[in-house]
Amino acid sequence: MYASPEQLSAASKASVDAFVGLASTQFAAFERLTALSFNAGKLAFEDSVGLTRSLLGAKDVQEVVNLNAAAAQPSFDKALAYSRGVYEVSSQTQSEFTKALEAQAAELNKTMVGLLDKMSKNAPAGSDVALTAVRSAMAAANQAYDSFTKVAKQATEVAEANFSAATTAAKETIKRKAK
């Protein structure tokens, strides 16, 4: 009924591996976000230098207005691309975390079921009511977890649809204002 040193060692190794996997996922996301931010900053700087040079060479006020108006759409498109990139990195990272946590939950559930089976074999007479109650509680917890997972996936899908709709609406607004 007690865990052997080999079982404890295997469980510890699995926990460390899971932690290292999550940490690696987090560092990879941080690296992608840093590169995305660096590139966006570099492009913004280059664009502002180019616009400043163009504005300094402008002959009249109308040319300044036209140059500013012409720079608005590309700037908006780049900001939109940046936000889309951040969203994609966040979404991918969340998906990887969810998969890892689901795997950990499945492993924990498997371990608990094995432990309950072992306990039921060695349990004294009359303890089947308590074991049945524990199994019932585990089934209810698994069902709640499954429901939570479905709701989280639906929320993610709604957020993605809202992001797409907001992007489309913003593009249309900019196009109308540019005309």
Q: Which long-range contacts (CB under 8 A, 24 or more apart) does 12-21 make?
A: 14/107, 18/100, 18/103, 18/104, 21/100
Written as six digits, the tokens of 173 are 């607004």
pLDDT in tens, 90-142: 989 988 988 888 888 888 778 777 777 777 777 777 777 777 787 788 788 87
C-alpha–C-alpha distance, residues 137 and 161, integer Å: 36
Written as six digits, the tokens of 100 are 């890892």
pLDDT in tens, 68-95: 888 888 888 899 899 989 989 998 998 8
Closest C-alpha to 175, from 78, 79, 82, 77: 77
